[in-house]
A and B are shown apart, each in its own frame.
Chain A
Amino acid sequence: MSSSPIPYAEQPEWADVVPLPQYESIDPLAPILYTNEYKDATDYLRGIVKVGEKSQRVLKLTEHVIRLNPAHYSAWQYRCETLLAIKAPLDVELKLMDEIAIKHMKTYQVWHHRRLLMTHLLRSTETDKGLQTSSRSPAQIATSELTLIARTLAEDSKNYHTWSYRQWLLAFFSDDSLWERELDFVDSMLNLDVRNNSAWHHRFFVVFQNGVREGEEDRDRILRRELIYVKQNISLAPNNASAWNYVRGILDFNKLPYSTLAPFVQPYTVSHPDTLDDLVDLENPPPSRGAQLPCPAAIEFLADVYEREGGDSVLKATELWKTLGNEHDTIRKRYWEFRVKEGLRTIQAQS
């Protein structure tokens, strides 16, 4: 597509199509100064759509339009209808779309198209017509999708559409063998960037939000595993909002009191914790040497522990909130003052 393409009018195989220029009023709002190539391709697209042709050459034409404008939802829709109408081999389509997906990963339509193809592939294998569209099993197809997603995330590790597609795909195929390797995948993403919130979210999605898979029936063991995992990560990089949100998330989800983590959190709330020794304590890993302390998220967590204890402890919580507002997290001064006010109101109501 790099060299200037031959206009459709000069290509004999398009001679029978009447191109239809776009209508536009005399005083349009936000008109786009289209390139001649885009005008030419969309003139032929309108011509094709008008007569309802579904054929091999329509795939070439819609691909052309999509490459020039990946957000052209009508071109995508017409392409999808054409693929199904002419029973095109969908493996070929997926392969072609791999390159477009990586190039235009920020375009919603790219991923929506893949969802439609997956839906069709699974439906047709279920009805034994799958051989027409793909020679692979659903698990094989899904596995190669996961590989493509990993390649895309290697380019942009927080791409929202791509992560969403991964979550959709796992839930859609719902095959234990696919889920098995997800935690390793999350691990590899967090090794690259421990602050990648999309990876943390994905971990929560995999562990807690999609039922209990084989080998994970012992929920207490899973919960312990997750707590150790997130504590280790906090120990290496304490100032990581994603990890703290994950801790809160798993405690809330499993209805565990925050106080169970108080011994772990406490050393992170002071400038010079006295537990900085080399003893390896899996349950309560200390802050790594050189960590920036105190950690505001830890102070916030400890304050929540005190607040939930009620009684006299609420006052301790308000003291911590004051240090956040005045010293450690001043951008949220108004918020912490609000928490102090609410806390004092609780104390008054109790007395």
Chain B
Amino acid sequence: MQPFSFYSYPYDYTTSTGYSYPYSYSDSMDEDFNLPPLARIGHAGHVKRCLSGLPDSQTDLDSSRLAVAFYCIGSLDLLGLIPDKIAQGDLDLWREWIWEQYVSGPNGAGFRPSPFMTPLPASSQNPSSSSDPSSDPGYEYANTPHIIMTYTALLTLSILQDDFSRLDKAGLVRLLRACQRADGSFGTVPPGSGSTSAPGSVTETESDLRTLYCAFVISSLLDCWDGVDVDRAVRYVKGCRTYEGGYGISTGYEAQGGTTYIALASIYLAPSSSSSPSNSYRLTPTEKSQTISWLVRMQHSEGGFCGRTNKSPDACYCFWCGASLKILDADHLVDTRALLSFVADCQFKYGGIAKAPGETPDPYHTYLSLAALSIYSPRPPSPPPSAPSQPVSSSPSTTLTTSSISASASISAPQPSHCHPPVDANKASWMLEPLDPLINARKGTARWARERLKLSTG
């Protein structure tokens, strides 16, 4: 959950929206919406700039570039720009780069963060070496799948509507099995990767709730839990609960918004089995009301959410805490108007969303803020049953390309075709399609992932 920030380039993008669609809505925010527009064009521009390159001050993202790609491409997805508003050529290139990070070996299949440990092919280096490259001690280092990166890769590929024909799904299950520890948690990479380290050796990589959550999402998308000892894992999650009613990142640690989301999502993703019905994993009524109470108290009087008791609000916790409340069916307890107003203030004037007003934006806070809006933004009324379930914008637009984004590009909010009283343009700019709060993806993307990734047994 380490937040990171990006350097921003001072390109002057217009933030005017130019929406004048016959919009309709029904929400308690009717009376005076009174917010500046969500600068969709600017935010899309920010993440696209990051996709095309990061300055050297961001070198610490070298070993998590796939996650950066997810936050960027995920932002474009939440803004409703994929696939129609991105050049097909770009979508193909993005997909190819992600598949280049796909690795498969004795410990299973998955994705590595980037080619940061991958040398140029031997042929161009040393023509004499002809032996099997996988016998190199360095091969493992460059070709070890990483569970968190695998989760972000699967979601990103789903956004890009990949058919997953190249994926060894059973290999994913093997990877999860190799990574689970005796205490129920998951290591980020299988033990024994690298070179000499063996299971239980002191050079094991980190293991905590983040990785466990990713393993749960992967199992849920595969609709196969053979890679996970669910009982043991859920026991580990429950051990992270603190006296405050939130969850820490590992046993004994302070309650924090991000890890509380991950704990709750994991508990609510857990499948039922004959021995333990899944609702036996769920919170007791007392636990649930204590957790809800802790979560709503994370909303600061400025409108944003804090990550821990007595800390300052930070845009990413609008998602972590906001989605936690959604999982517990308590999203109606949030002061939505104040939340939106905080996110509005976190918008950077040249695009992107920062962790707090006046800070520089980055893809992580941009994505998570948009994801929070996908839960809490004003919503058009559900279309009548006969209408298409996914309203797609049809306004004239300029296709965005990786290298440039036209300031005149019109990026429209979803636009229902049936007639209702008009919604003002500002308000329309805040409307986003709904999100699946358990796996943290647009519902349409989640559906794609579940349909294509389901592991058919037998």
Measured CB to CB, the residues of A under 8 A from B are: 18, 20-25, 27-35, 38, 42, 46-47, 49-52, 68-74, 77-78, 80-81, 84-85, 106-109, 112, 116, 119-120, 123, 158, 160, 163-164, 167-168, 171, 195-198, 200-202, 204-205, 208-209, 240-242, 245-246, 248-250, 252-253, 331-335, 338
A24 to B117, alpha carbons, bound, how many Å? 10
Contact among B64, B137, B303 with A50 in the assembled complex (CB-CB below 8 Å): B137
Contact A195 B310 (CB under 8 A): yes
A331 to B297, alpha carbons, bound, how many Å? 9
Contact B115 A198 (CB under 8 A): no
Contact B116 A29 (CB under 8 A): no
Contact B72 A38 (CB under 8 A): no
Instruction: Report the 8 A-B pairs with minimum CB-CB distance, sorted nearest first.
Output: A249-B243, A52-B137, A20-B119, A50-B138, A197-B309, A49-B138, A201-B254, A71-B60
Counting chain A CB atoms within 10 Å of each CB, the highest count among B2, B60, B308 belongs to B60
A141 to B309, alpha carbons, bound, how many Å? 32
Q: Which residues of B contact A335 (CB under 8 A)?
A: 293, 296, 333
B345 within 8 A of A: no
The smallest C-beta distance from B102 to any residue of chain A, in angstroms, reads: 13
Q: Which residues of A contact B117 (CB under 8 A)?
A: 46, 49, 74
Q: Which residues of A contact B248 (CB under 8 A)?
A: 164
Q: Which residues of A contact B303 (CB under 8 A)?
A: 331
Q: Which residues of A contact B249 (CB under 8 A)?
A: 160, 164
Contact B119 A46 (CB under 8 A): yes
Contact B97 A28 (CB under 8 A): yes
Closest to A197 in B: B309
A198 to B2, alpha carbons, bound, how many Å? 17
Contact A50 B97 (CB under 8 A): no
B256 within 8 A of A: yes
The smallest C-beta distance from B197 to any residue of chain A, in angstroms, reads: 7
A188 to B244, alpha carbons, bound, how many Å? 22
Measured CB to CB, the residues of B under 8 A from A are: 2, 50-51, 53-56, 58-65, 68-69, 72, 93-94, 96-98, 100, 115-121, 125-126, 136-138, 141-142, 188, 194-197, 202-206, 242-244, 248-250, 252-256, 293-294, 296-297, 299-301, 303, 308-311, 332-335, 338
Contact among A29, A109, A332 with B94 in the assembled complex (CB-CB below 8 Å): A29
Beyond known contacts A18-B125, A30-B50, A46-B142: 10 more, CB 8 A cutoff: A28-B97, A32-B61, A46-B138, A71-B64, A112-B206, A160-B253, A167-B253, A198-B254, A331-B303, A332-B335
Q: Which residues of B contact A35 (CB under 8 A)?
A: 56, 59
Contact B120 A22 (CB under 8 A): yes
A10 to B263, alpha carbons, bound, how many Å? 51
The smallest C-beta distance from B212 to any residue of chain A, in angstroms, reads: 16
Contact A29 to B63, CB < 8 A, known contacts A38-B56, A78-B194: no
Closest to B47 in A: A30
A204 to B253, alpha carbons, bound, how many Å? 10
A21 to B50, alpha carbons, bound, how many Å? 23
Q: Which residues of A contact B137 (CB under 8 A)?
A: 49-52
Contact A204 to B243, CB < 8 A, known contacts A33-B54, A33-B55, A167-B252: yes
Closest to A38 in B: B59
Q: Which residues of B contact A18 (CB under 8 A)?
A: 125-126
A42 to B62, alpha carbons, bound, how many Å? 11
A32 to B368, alpha carbons, bound, how many Å? 22
Contact B196 A163 (CB under 8 A): no
Contact A196 B115 (CB under 8 A): no
A160 to B296, alpha carbons, bound, how many Å? 21
Q: Which residues of B contact A240 (CB under 8 A)?
A: 310
10 A-B pairs with CB atoms under 8 Å apart are A27-B97, A30-B51, A30-B54, A34-B56, A50-B119, A112-B205, A167-B253, A201-B242, A331-B335, A334-B334
Contact B60 A107 (CB under 8 A): yes
Q: Which residues of B contact A248 (CB under 8 A)?
A: 243
A22 to B121, alpha carbons, bound, how many Å? 9
Counting chain A CB atoms within 10 Å of each CB, the highest count among B256, B296, B338 belongs to B296
Contact among B2, B203, B299 with A77 in the assembled complex (CB-CB below 8 Å): B203
A85 to B248, alpha carbons, bound, how many Å? 34
The smallest C-beta distance from B276 to any residue of chain A, in angstroms, reads: 26
Q: Which residues of A contact B332 (CB under 8 A)?
A: 334, 338
Contact A245 to B309, CB < 8 A, known contacts A32-B54, A81-B195, A116-B203: yes
Q: Which residues of A contact B69 (CB under 8 A)?
A: 29-30
Contact A25 B301 (CB under 8 A): no
A123 to B125, alpha carbons, bound, how many Å? 42
Contact among B93, B115, B203, B301 with A27 in the assembled complex (CB-CB below 8 Å): B93
Q: Which residues of A contact B297 (CB under 8 A)?
A: 241, 332
A20 to B61, alpha carbons, bound, how many Å? 20
Closest to A251 in B: B243
Closest to B113 in A: A73
Contact A205 B62 (CB under 8 A): no
Contact A31 B53 (CB under 8 A): yes
Q: Which residues of A contact B62 (CB under 8 A)?
A: 32, 34, 69, 71-72
Closest to B188 in A: A73
Q: Which residues of B contact A33 (CB under 8 A)?
A: 53-56
The smallest C-beta distance from A224 to any residue of chain B, in angstroms, reads: 18
Contact among A123, A209, A245, A331 with B244 in the assembled complex (CB-CB below 8 Å): A245
Contact A20 B308 (CB under 8 A): no
Contact A252 B243 (CB under 8 A): yes
Q: Which residues of B contact A49 (CB under 8 A)?
A: 117, 137-138, 141
A331 to B141, alpha carbons, bound, how many Å? 50
Contact among B196, B310, B335 with A242 in the assembled complex (CB-CB below 8 Å): B310
Contact among A47, A69, A195, A249 with B59 in the assembled complex (CB-CB below 8 Å): A69
Contact among A80, A241, A332 with B203 in the assembled complex (CB-CB below 8 Å): A80
Contact A51 B116 (CB under 8 A): no
Contact B256 A160 (CB under 8 A): yes
Counting chain A CB atoms within 10 Å of each CB, the highest count among B69, B195, B309 belongs to B309
A38 to B59, alpha carbons, bound, how many Å? 9
Q: Which residues of A contact B138 (CB under 8 A)?
A: 46, 49-52
Closest to A28 in B: B97
Closest to A122 in B: B202
